Amino acid sequence: MVKRFTVDLKDRKILAILDWDARATNTSIAKEIKLSKKAVEYRIKKLESEGIICGYYPVIDFMKMGYGIYRIFMKLKGENQKVRERIEDYVKKDKRIKWSLWMGDNYAIGFDIWSKSVVEVKEVFMDFNKKFGEYISYRVFGVSAKAYHYPYRFLLGRVDKRMMLVSESDELVEIDELDRKILKELVKNSRQNLVGLGKKVGCGYKTVANRLKSLKERGILLGTRALIEPEALGYKWYKLLLNFENNIGEAYNKSDSFFKNLLETIYVVDYMGEEDYDVELAVKSTDDFFKIIERLKEELGRNLKSYSYIRFLKTIKISYLPNL
């Protein structure tokens, strides 16, 4: 269970800035929210030490480099805390697993793999199964074509139309060794300054700045974000899965309009699997979550066949950089 903390409006403003631009300087943040630079630095360190900010990562459109999004969700049986610690340690060390979470309700753990090969995805599962197969009671596989990323609008309760989209592309983009080195360093910590980045990748800060600009212009580096743990702020994080019937196209359009304008929406995933629609929400309470579902039912009417949901409890790891 993630420990919860109380934050004030200034903290929320800092979180909202870092959520969408992890490379924002303390000076620029201080100017925007009218605090001293030292006060901003202190608050950020406190947010980090309390586990509200768990790191800083780049959002990379790896699909433009020919990689796909593959998902594995698993139910566990007979596991205890020691087993969960072993699993978490394994997942953190396996570089093929890029995004992983502990979950409640229908599943216990899930992870995403960025890969060009279904064979590799199977290998990842088989290796995991070799270690922990006795604890797996059920697993489900899926694939995604797009992933829409929204700001954590719940932090300030404001409408924010910004969005990052990881999506398949007809034209693949190539990157060279220096680009790879820079992206790898951003994965470790996206708040590193240009001078520090330059020293680690073996070039000057101006070269790094130009490379970052180029990566953005080519649509590879979509942005940098703080890894904020909603549970630590007292929010509940749910994945809602919908099944449609009748006019599926109409259901998609109505669902897109509904969720893309909802302050609680974090991600919308164009998912191919057992369900038709996949959305992730951060809500203040379970009651609020079910109120959203009731509003959705009214919006979709007979087009909503059924729904299910998964509670996300803790992010184990996140990395948008595939094994290049």
Instruction: For 287, list phi and psi in degrees, rounded to 5.
Output: -60, -40
pLDDT band at 47 (very low <50, low <70, confident <90, very high): very high
Please report whether residue 120 resides in a domain: yes
User: What is the identity of the amino acid at 226?
Assistant: A
Q: What is the largest CA-CA distance in the chain?
A: 60
What is the total count of domains within the chain?
A: 1
**Mutual angle of helices 177-188 and 194-201, in 10-degree steps:** 130
Residue 146 DSSP symbol: E
The pLDDT score that the predictor gives to residue 248 is 86
Please report whether residue 323 resides in a domain: no
Q: Please give the structure tokens belonging to residue 67.
A: 């990689």
For the segment 184-236, what is each residue's pLDDT rounded down to a tens digit? 999 999 999 999 999 999 999 999 999 999 999 999 999 999 999 999 999 99
Please report whether residue 139 resides in a domain: yes
Residue 28 DSSP symbol: H
> Which secondary-structure segment (H or E) carries 9?
helix 9-20
Give 270 or 128, the one with higher predicted confidence: 128
125 contact partners, CB below 8 Å, separation of at least 6: 72, 139, 141
pLDDT band at 145 (very low <50, low <70, confident <90, very high): confident
Please report whether residue 237 resides in a domain: no
The mean per-residue pLDDT over the stretch 33-43 comes to 97
Please report whether residue 114 resides in a domain: yes
Taking a C-beta distance cutoff of 8 angstroms, is the pair 240, 280 a contact?
Answer: yes
CATH number of domain containing 72: 3.30.70.920
How far apart are the C-alpha atoms of 34 and 197, rounded to whole Å?
29
**Residue written as tokens 């000076």?**
27
Alpha-carbon separation of residue 324 from 57, 90, 184, 248, 321 (angstroms): 17, 21, 10, 37, 8
Q: Beta partners for 275?
A: none
Q: How many residues does the chain have?
A: 324
Boundaries of domain holding 105 = 63-145
57 contact partners, CB below 8 Å, separation of at least 6: 22, 186, 187, 190, 224, 225, 227, 318, 319, 320
Percentage of the chain modeled with pLDDT above 70? 99
Helices (H) and strands (E) in the chain, counts: 10, 11
Please report whether residue 127 resides in a domain: yes
pLDDT band at 2 (very low <50, low <70, confident <90, very high): low
Percentage of the chain modeled with pLDDT above 90? 85
Q: Please give the structure tokens belonging to residue 113.
A: 């793999």
Cβ count near 257 (within 10 Å)? 11
The mean per-residue pLDDT over the stretch 140-167 comes to 93
For 67, counting Cβ atoms within 10 Å of its Cβ (0-12 exposed, 13-18 middle, 19+ buried), the class is buried
